[in-house]
Structure 1
Amino acid sequence: MTLRDDAALVLKGYAPEGPEDARGEQAELRQAYLDHLARHDDGMWKACGAGHLTASALVIDPERGKVLLTLHRKLGMWLQMGGHCEPQDATLEAAALREATEESGIAGLTLLPGGPVRLDRHPIPSPCNRHLDVQYAALAPAGAAERISQESLELRWFDYADVPGVADASVVRLLEATRARL
């Protein structure tokens, strides 16, 4: 099975729920992602000019009520960990976990069970143009110590209540959806 096949299966199985999808936005995104994969054989890869799927994970420590965000080097924004899928990624989950581990420096992260937490489509600077992000949540092990990567300007743990003051609405929605699933 290819990564593209896995992505299609994950998306077909993604069932948005709760008040966040009352207007059907997540269901519409789900279908848009599936349509994208059907139209673009290279829809998983950065080279796809029409956009591409990415995988991300919000690193969370529910015991302390904190979330780890990265100050993205290129975008200058506080974001969850994530990025482009790589040829060695067998699944979207593997890509999200790899990105979270690489960017946080935390060994032993585990993804919150139940598949993706939400989907988010957003424009980005050229040459990529658009990310179709499949968002997961990663649980930090007890005593986790972060280590900054070359992709970040800074890493910082934020209390849940502080996230709306530093991050954009997509990160806030991801945190809300993650907390609803915990």
Structure 2
Amino acid sequence: MSLHDDAVLVLKEYEDQPELRGLYLDHLAAHPDAMWKACAAGHLTASALVIDPGRERVLLTLHKKLGMWLQMGGHCEPGDRTLLRAALREAMEESGILDLWPLREEPVRLDRHPIPAPCHWHLDVQYAVLAPPGAVERISEESLDLRWFSYDEVAGVADGSVVRLLERTRAALPG
């Protein structure tokens, strides 16, 4: 199965955000290259919110190009076989934490946002992952900083998309 096929399957099974979900599926149907950065009409990306083992904080990156505190994530690559694996790869690369574990196999939410030309849109598929006990983060080349924030601090440093991702993640946490 191709990454494109996996994205279609994941989105067909995703039960939330029906209007946005439909937009993603229509985009995939219209653009065979929708998984790749080269798709100028917009492309799918995969991201993950990293949660600490105590489930009290999240790890955000100060994105080098955007100057904003964001969850880990980015573009899919040819070696990615699933959206979840793409999100995990991006989170491990950007956080320096290996052995991240998905909170669940399904996405937590979808977020479509405009980006500068030549492309027009990122259609982000967002997951939540747990860091293992004793995890030590390491700043990547894509980041100016990397920091753990308590749930209550996130709204003060991040934009609404990250806040909504955190809210959906917290609702999905067991217990």
Which of 66, 74, 82 aligns to 1:75? It is 66
5 Å-filtered alignment, 1:1-182, equals: 1-16=1-16, 26-61=17-52, 63=54, 65-182=56-173
Distance in 2 separating the partners of 1:64 and 1:58: 12
Tell me which amino acid in the other structure corresponds to 2:156.
Answer: G
C-alpha displacement at 1:127, in angstroms? 2.7
User: Structure 1 counterpart of 2:5, which letter?
Assistant: D
Amino acid at match of 2:25: L
- The residue type paired with residue 94 of structure 1 is R
After superposition, the C-alpha distances for 1:13-55 in whole angstroms (9 at most, x for unaligned) are: 0011xxxxxxxxx111100000000000111110111100000
Contact kept? 2:48, 2:72, Cα under 8 Å: yes
Once the two structures are TM-superposed, the CA of residue 113 in structure 1 deviates from its matched residue by 1.2
SS in 1 for 2:45: strand
Q: Displacement of 1:131 after TM fit?
A: 0.2
Distance in 2 between the 1:127 and 1:79 partners?
22
* In structure 2, C-alpha distance between the alignment counterparts of 1:138 and 1:128, rounded to whole Å: 28
Structure 2 CA distance for aligned equivalents of residues 89 and 43 of structure 1: 14
Q: Secondary structure at the match of 1:164?
A: helix
RMSD of aligned alpha carbons: 0.9
What is the CA–CA distance in structure 2 between the aligned matches of 1:53 and 1:9, rounded to whole Å? 14
Taking structure 2 as the reference length, the TM-score comes to: 0.97
Q: For 2:149 and 2:106, locate their aligned partners in 1 and report how far apart those are by CA, in whole Å.
A: 24
Q: CA deviation at 1:124?
A: 1.2
Q: Distance in 1 between matches of 2:116 and 2:144?
A: 18
- Tell me the CA shift for residue 62 of structure 1: 5.1
AA of the residue aligned to 1:13: E
Which residues of structure 2 form unaligned runs of 5+? Answer: none
SS at match of 1:5: helix
Helix, strand or coil for the counterpart of 1:59? strand
Where 1:135 maps in the other structure, the secondary structure is strand
User: Residue deviations 1:125-179, cap 9 Å, x none?
Assistant: 2233210000000101011100010000000000000000000000000000000
Q: SS state of the match for residue 154, structure 1?
A: strand
